Each structure stands twice: as C-alpha cells, then as structure tokens.
Structure 1
Amino acid sequence: DRAWRRHGDGLADGLRAAAGRPSPTLAELARLDVPAGIGTCTDDPVHPTKVAAEWAGALPRGVLGETTLTALGADRESLGRATVLAFLRASKTR
C-alpha cells in the first residue's frame, strides 16, 4: 500500500506544477529567523540529503533530522518523527 496511490490522477499534475516552481535560495532561507526542522532520508536518491543539509545549515535556527527509506518502509511515521524532533531541537536554540 503506497501512500502516493491515494493522491489519484492529480498526482502527476501536482508534481509537474511543483517542479516548475523555484526552490528558495540559501540567501532567502538565511533570512528566516524561526525554528525549522528539515527531515531527510539519507538513502533517497531523488531528494538528496546534501540539499537538506544545505537548507538546514542556511537557516539560522535550522536542524537536520535523518532517517532512511528502509526505516520509512517499516515505520511510516519515521520521517515525520525525525522532522518534528529536529524542529524541537531547533526550538531550543537562542
């Protein structure tokens, strides 16, 4: 049971629309002085951890939370949990 199947026929159009939008620049992220947790699956070739680490590093109060696709397959909440824990750690900064 794959989560993406629940999105139906609109998923492809949604992904195309998202791909057509620019991601924030590191300079833009550097201006966001709020706690931020960035989640990543370290073995995901489509969403590189390198980019997540750059984003977390650019955010003044950014923290990176890591899991794996293997863990995500066994526990659907693992990525959300890693991200929330990163956010909670970021919230303690200052």
Structure 2
Amino acid sequence: MRPYLITAKPGRLNRAARWAARWALKTLALLVMAALGAVVLTVRCARPVTNYLATRAAWLELWAASVTGIGPVGAAVGSGLTDEFVREFHRARTTPAGSTR
C-alpha cells in the first residue's frame, strides 16, 4: 500500500459536490426564512384591518340586536372565549416547562 493513499485529499469532484450541497442547503434555509418572514409581515400588517373589522362587526351585532330585540350572542360567546384564553395564557406562564399539570 502506498503511503500517499492514506492521506489523500478528496478529489475535485467530491469537493465540488460537497460545496454545491452546502450552498444548496444554505439557499434553501434562506428561502424558508424569507417565506416565513413574509407570512409574519403579512399577518402583522393585517392586524389593524382585522381589529377594525372586528369592531365594525361588534357594532353591527349590537345594532341588529337593538332592531330585532334578540340579545347579542357574539358578546356572550366572545367573553367566554376571552376568559378561556386568559386562563390558558396564565397557566402557560406560571407552569414550568415540561410540566403536565
């Protein structure tokens, strides 16, 4: 066995393939981060519109309730959901990570 075979460097093709694979992975990671960033930006930009539409829907429900005489159902359901979200948030904030309480 020749000694230079033991310490031989990888061939050009092997090095080029590893370089291409590394940069392909970096490019894919960059594209995934850019796509997630675009989604987050869209959601954050849509928040004021969502808040405005929710406010208008609440006013419309109150108007419809005053015209028809039927109580506002959304307010009762919404307050229950809000209470549940607050309870869950408080539980998640005070419970240690990994606990199954």
TM-score w.r.t. structure 2 length? 0.29
* Structure with more relative contact order (C-alpha pairs < 8 Å, separation 6 or more): 1
Bigger radius of gyration among the two: 2
TM-score w.r.t. structure 1 length? 0.31
Structure with more helix by fraction: 2
